[in-house]
Structure 1
């Protein structure tokens, strides 16, 4: 322990060609030469210390601390650490003024975050007649980060609203609590004003005031003072400049606004009075803190899932999220309202308005961008948007949802991605899905569409703008489908309102209701263009709604949150209530149907791409009379949005069914017949139409299924050490009898590996290939390596590996 005045410096070392990044209360480094590295030794060729002298070399790292061999020549012999900037670490020490020794006192594994100083004896400068001048603000990120659940952020000083945080103020002379008056100011935005709630002035008192902006002295010693600051639970979310004002003997000092002296305030779902409050630690861990998750795709009969890197704590992600709010021009006073923020985020994630993050593309032609199936997560998308300052190409619904989950979690709003299978797109606000066929039993295109799956988000918040009972999970959707209030956004829509058919409540509840609980109505158009209602399928829409389970990699079904059991009295009441507010309120007049032939169309289960597709239309005659049935079967490759891509084949056949007998029609397609027809999701739709000549009964049914893809095998050490490089291997075998071209592997993992694309040569039929990638863990804890594969014939090929870093 030193009893002399000291100056604190931080040295940093890093990749070849980089200058040390330094945080110093006594001034910065002045570069005297190029910073290089060679082998395990790191050299600084001439850097001037702030108080004179030169650091002329760095020695090989070992286990000891800082030493001094001569005046002006210092060596670092401490252990090396790594950081997000690719191998940059920092060490700090105290240099006693007038002495040559050093007091080693701490490390930081995140460059740019200052460690807390130890307790030491201080003899500051003697008192002078001038004002008390501030020389440094330490935001105590380790202490505040743990308390505020923000310790995973690697950049910025980050806290959550409605909860006290502590800063340590350093002055150039002794602070006297009785004589020196302190005031803390928080400035939000470019033109902060008290009447707008963007300029907050807080005298430092003896205790904090609940629910208000306030500041209180925590402790002081010599030239240091610790001050606690609290924000109200409805505070504006964003970046504030911190200004300190001192008054001594009538003389005032005000610190300047600098980029270093800022604090980012987020929503706080851990605080009861915050509108995002969620009283469940496990769910908070999943829906706010977890950077890894899944996106579910495919069909309700063949659910697929792929890993997704949300990466909300990765470097630059918070910067992007704050920029989105700034660019949206949302009013400052609205930035504390989770309802308004989530709605504006749903607008800003797509690029249809105001230059948002992602451009949607469902055409199958992704020239000038990347196929939506090639993304493994949100991090690369958001960083690219931040760096290039223009929309990223391209996204589809699960990509929009993944990015929105990242943004909401980063801002502190609990959020999850949700997949709805057999998801309706009601274009005429009837809250029914209408399908038409002509007198030849062929489908007429142009009706409402049903997506095989659609992915949106749920965000957790109170709804003070609505009657009691509508808080909790809210549907929000960033995929640009329909406009709302003139822009492409959707929600927040209360899930409880959807379940009960209360479609008159904001926002966009009619649209969401139709997605999950509309009835599917089949119409026959005769030769004279007259409509005949054939049948209503009441359970065709909104099935197996899926999200990642809390604390595990399993699928959690959310269907019962959106609707009562199909066919129940409560469910029918909800549907009729909703339809009564639509444009076709009489659609639900019952139709008496004379049906004595039962039909079922289905393909084999678990068909992998490259295998034959076998389809069967089964028929059972429940009458005591024979029946003649005219059948028509078609097979089409489909976009997952329900839009036909290519015809694979069709079959027409007349069938005679004996009394109380059974019959079937079958068709088979080989890979050579269907492979060139497939598009992104490898979804095939089988549509069966049948007409019973004797009774005029008409049947329309379908089976949509996903041809399953092989998995990638990811290999790496499952136990890793922070800062130690490892090698990961990705293995893939071509299951097709054709050569795959345009081959790309994508690999990433939060805290492990930045997103990276690896191009590969064409892969022959049956060939197994392996690609390797080196990575250096920079965060401890459970992490996931995620990989995907794309080619001209195969997409949605993914793999993952969970590892633990210590």
Structure 2
């Protein structure tokens, strides 16, 4: 019988039955075994009390939904500080007569030697051990049957779920060393602690700490280099579904229990576990526009809905995501676990597939570009943008000076150590060109700083090709993230360009030195930087950049050509406009023009291609990206010139009308609207809305069309859940027009 025949829910139920039966059998065997029993006057534990909310306030975890769960609230603590715990016995506790030991257990095989089992004796009113050890002291509030203790969690403790055993016996071991056992089934979450100086993820700046740990909403930047936009996102790291899945991800990616206190290993595991390739993680990636059996990436508005789907589907990967969704989920998981994290977007991002640190385009003698290069194996590409993450931590595994922000990437692109994972890569190493340091530094270096090289067929070269042109300034034009402490619902005044953290100013001595430093570490790169200098370049070309167009408008591709020589020049030219995915992959040719012309000495001429709205709109895909490509070749000199420009067709903004203030007792009315800019109706309309603390994520199929040039409106009612400043994030999609976004900040007041 197929084990999946009855569905994943049935299989999970069977698995829980097996676990319960095994636990019951082990308990019965223990009860019936012939082992020494503790004295009859030894303490027995009746119950424990975790002071869940009081501890959460001091541990900066009070925002977690699990802390406030009405049925089974969970203690959520941070390592590197103390928490309070109370134990009630069947009789009064006497420190001189009674022996009590706390065993904190982590993972399936707790071990003192491996740091996954902490044995803590309760016998002092002061802490007596070093900061590297678990410790405990009796609190002044202890009295009678109730023993109150303060427990210290070392800043190196494993991050995840811990369980507590309380063993109780007598101090006089001559009578008996046997102890009663009380196993507390409470899941106690221990997280990284960026507030603690002893923790390797410590972040001193309070504003940045608030942004990169406690802010549960934000933006992920997408679009074209000159017309980027912040896509609102509900990270929702405090939602009840998130933290258990964050811990589960570390199991999926097989981060060893002994490594779960090391943020370097943890974030590397997260980068592998968020995608589905090796371990059936949270999200399936897809870039071909075919999403019929899942949700299109642009319909998601937040992480919680995706993670909920993951759980509901029996922990099967959710369809579908692209880089900004992978990055947003990674931000959620990292922040939930206590690792400072930001989503960063690299505009004009290189994907180097052969470790040459270059993006290579090959042209034959006629000036035609060869797809896949001369051997069909060179698939370097340039993405309009690519989104990954920076995480903050010390790097004791690297030489001094390489701590701070580290790049990780959960989007599956290239294998690292036989898995689809990437990072952490020190930004300081990338900036200096130190590509020999762990992990995946050459790949990230090329993403932000690769040179674009054009190769021409050359029979005199040893390998048949010589370099004709190198563009050192095209890649890594901007690297955007949300500015810490700023928030702009209506525009993008809250963006921050952190390109200077990845590389020195383009063309500066420091930037070129970093390139040469990186080349020294790559034999393949050394070969690719050989240069043929004997081609005469006396014709100047200038592709006029397109700044922006609104959907419905025409656009023009224009190249200005000038012959600066004293001789006549004969040229062949090719212009094209294509619809592309943001990864740079071609979708459809919209229009092209080609031909030959002659320029007299010192003469200039414009060549142009005009594209009407009716010619392009049906060929647009998500992100509405266009690529303009121009190739020209001079017959007399063999000079070949190529250039390209990417731009995005802009769309209207989704307006959200809602009260600025609301409360948790009354329904709140929300209205969404925008004007359809197209001269045809919008069909198959869909609205996605999300807002941590405001509402559970909703996916609404709208049973109505939006008329041509007409106004869309839709109203819903929500009941805010948690007080504080909350952000509502929504996206409208239809068959004809998609990814229309909007945000609205609402202050939810405490109930009176």
Find the residue that maps to 1:321 and give its secondary structure: helix
Runs of 4+ in 1 over 6 A off after TM superposition: 526-529
Structure 1 position 794, deviation (Å): 2.0
Q: Is 1:518–1:538's contact at 8 Å kept on the other side of the alignment?
A: yes
1:515 corresponding residue in structure 2: 447
Residue 535 of structure 1 is aligned with which of 436, 460, 469? 469
Taking the TM superposition and a 5 Å limit, the aligned residue runs for 1:606-625 are 606-623=548-565
Taking the TM superposition and a 5 Å limit, the aligned residue runs for 1:45-444 are 130-155=41-66, 156-204=74-122, 205-208=124-127, 209=129, 210-219=131-140, 220-248=142-170, 254-260=180-186, 262-388=187-313, 389-444=315-370
Cα distance between partner residues in 2 of 1:440 and 1:707: 33
Q: Deviations over 1:85-119 (max 9, x none)?
A: xxxxxxxxxxxxxxxxxxxxxxxxxxxxxxxxxxx
1:25 corresponding residue in structure 2: none
Find the residue that maps to 1:390 and give its secondary structure: coil
1:98 corresponding residue in structure 2: none
Q: Deviations over 1:758-780 (max 9, x none)?
A: 11123221121211222222222
Q: Are residues 1:805 and 2:745 paired?
A: no
Q: Is 1:612–1:668's contact at 8 Å kept on the other side of the alignment?
A: yes
Would the alpha carbon gap of residues 415 and 186 (structure 1) be closer, same or farther in structure 2, given more than 3 Å must change? same
Cα distance between partner residues in 1 of 2:421 and 2:647: 30
Structure 1 position 253, deviation (Å): 6.0
Q: Which moved more, 1:527-536 or 1:209-218?
A: 527-536
Would the alpha carbon gap of residues 596 and 164 (structure 1) be closer, same or farther in structure 2, given more than 3 Å must change? same
Residue 611 of structure 2 is aligned with which of 669, 691, 712? 669
1:496 corresponding residue in structure 2: 428
2:506 corresponding residue in structure 1: 566
The structure, 1 or 2, with the larger RCO (C-alpha pairs under 8 Å, 6+ apart) is: 2
Q: Is 1:456–1:476's contact at 8 Å kept on the other side of the alignment?
A: yes
Find the residue that maps to 1:578 and give its secondary structure: helix
1:458 corresponding residue in structure 2: 390
Cα distance between partner residues in 2 of 1:796 and 1:544: 23
Taking the TM superposition and a 5 Å limit, the aligned residue runs for 1:8-23 are none
Cα distance between partner residues in 2 of 1:543 and 1:456: 15
Residue 407 of structure 2 is aligned with which of 475, 481, 502? 475
Find the residue that maps to 2:62 and give its secondary structure: coil
Structure 1 position 793, deviation (Å): 2.4
Give unmatched runs, 5+ long, in structure 2: 1-38, 67-73, 373-378, 488-493
Taking the TM superposition and a 5 Å limit, the aligned residue runs for 1:28-39 are none
2:9 corresponding residue in structure 1: none
TM-score of the pair, normalised by structure 2 = 0.86
Q: Is 2:733–2:740's contact at 8 Å kept on the other side of the alignment?
A: yes
Residue 748 of structure 1 is aligned with which of 683, 686, 690? 690
Find the residue that maps to 1:277 and give its secondary structure: coil
Structure 1 position 199, deviation (Å): 2.0
Q: Is 1:164–1:230's contact at 8 Å kept on the other side of the alignment?
A: yes
Q: Are residues 1:686 and 2:628 paired?
A: yes
Q: Which moved more, 1:623-632 or 1:213-222?
A: 623-632
1:4 corresponding residue in structure 2: none
Q: Is 2:690–2:729's contact at 8 Å kept on the other side of the alignment?
A: yes
Q: Is 1:602–1:702's contact at 8 Å kept on the other side of the alignment?
A: no
Cα distance between partner residues in 2 of 1:527 and 1:723: 79
Cα distance between partner residues in 2 of 1:718 and 1:654: 62
Q: Deviations over 1:560-587 (max 9, x none)?
A: 1111111111211111221232213133
Q: Is 2:283–2:319's contact at 8 Å kept on the other side of the alignment?
A: yes
Cα distance between partner residues in 2 of 1:207 and 1:184: 16
Cα distance between partner residues in 2 of 1:651 and 1:264: 63
Q: Deviations over 1:572-618 (max 9, x none)?
A: 11112212322131333444353333322235322112211222212
1:725 corresponding residue in structure 2: 667
Residue 587 of structure 1 is aligned with which of 528, 548, 555? 528
Cα distance between partner residues in 1 of 2:471 and 2:101: 67
Structure 1 position 322, deviation (Å): 1.1
Find the residue that maps to 2:210 and give its secondary structure: helix
Structure 1 position 400, deviation (Å): 0.7
Structure 1 position 411, deviation (Å): 0.7
Cα distance between partner residues in 2 of 1:379 and 1:428: 37
Q: Deviations over 1:265-291 (max 9, x none)?
A: 111111112111111111110111111
Cα distance between partner residues in 2 of 1:130 and 1:584: 76
Would the alpha carbon gap of residues 739 and 254 (structure 1) be closer, same or farther in structure 2, given more than 3 Å must change? farther
Structure 1 position 530, deviation (Å): 4.5
Cα distance between partner residues in 2 of 1:445 and 1:382: 39
Cα distance between partner residues in 1 of 2:235 and 2:112: 37
Find the residue that maps to 2:139 and give its secondary structure: strand
Would the alpha carbon gap of residues 353 and 618 (structure 1) be closer, same or farther in structure 2, given more than 3 Å must change? same
Q: Is 1:188–1:239's contact at 8 Å kept on the other side of the alignment?
A: yes
Q: Is 2:42–2:180's contact at 8 Å kept on the other side of the alignment?
A: no
Task: Say which structure is richer in helix.
Answer: 2
Q: Are residues 1:548 and 2:482 paired?
A: yes
Find the residue that maps to 1:394 and give its secondary structure: strand
Cα distance between partner residues in 2 of 1:657 and 1:544: 37
Cα distance between partner residues in 1 of 2:667 and 2:147: 42
Would the alpha carbon gap of residues 585 and 619 (structure 1) be closer, same or farther in structure 2, given more than 3 Å must change? same
Would the alpha carbon gap of residues 394 and 247 (structure 1) be closer, same or farther in structure 2, given more than 3 Å must change? same
Cα distance between partner residues in 1 of 2:742 and 2:711: 15
Aligned length: 678
Q: Which moved more, 1:732-741 or 1:307-316?
A: 732-741
Structure 1 position 622, deviation (Å): 4.2
Find the residue that maps to 1:793 and give its secondary structure: coil
Structure 1 position 786, deviation (Å): 0.1
Find the residue that maps to 1:221 and give its secondary structure: coil
Q: Deviations over 1:159-196 (max 9, x none)?
A: 01111111122334333344433322211123323233
Cα distance between partner residues in 2 of 1:254 and 1:150: 33
1:795 corresponding residue in structure 2: 738
Structure 1 position 659, deviation (Å): 5.1
Cα distance between partner residues in 2 of 1:527 and 1:739: 57
1:18 corresponding residue in structure 2: none
Would the alpha carbon gap of residues 686 and 211 (structure 1) be closer, same or farther in structure 2, given more than 3 Å must change? same
Q: Which moved more, 1:480-489 or 1:222-231?
A: 222-231
1:738 corresponding residue in structure 2: 680
Residue 767 of structure 1 is aligned with which of 704, 710, 727? 710
Structure 1 position 625, deviation (Å): 5.5
Q: Is 2:429–2:441's contact at 8 Å kept on the other side of the alignment?
A: yes
Q: Is 2:166–2:183's contact at 8 Å kept on the other side of the alignment?
A: no
RMSD: 2.1
Q: Is 1:320–1:383's contact at 8 Å kept on the other side of the alignment?
A: no
Give unmatched runs, 5+ long, in structure 1: 1-127
Cα distance between partner residues in 2 of 1:754 and 1:602: 47
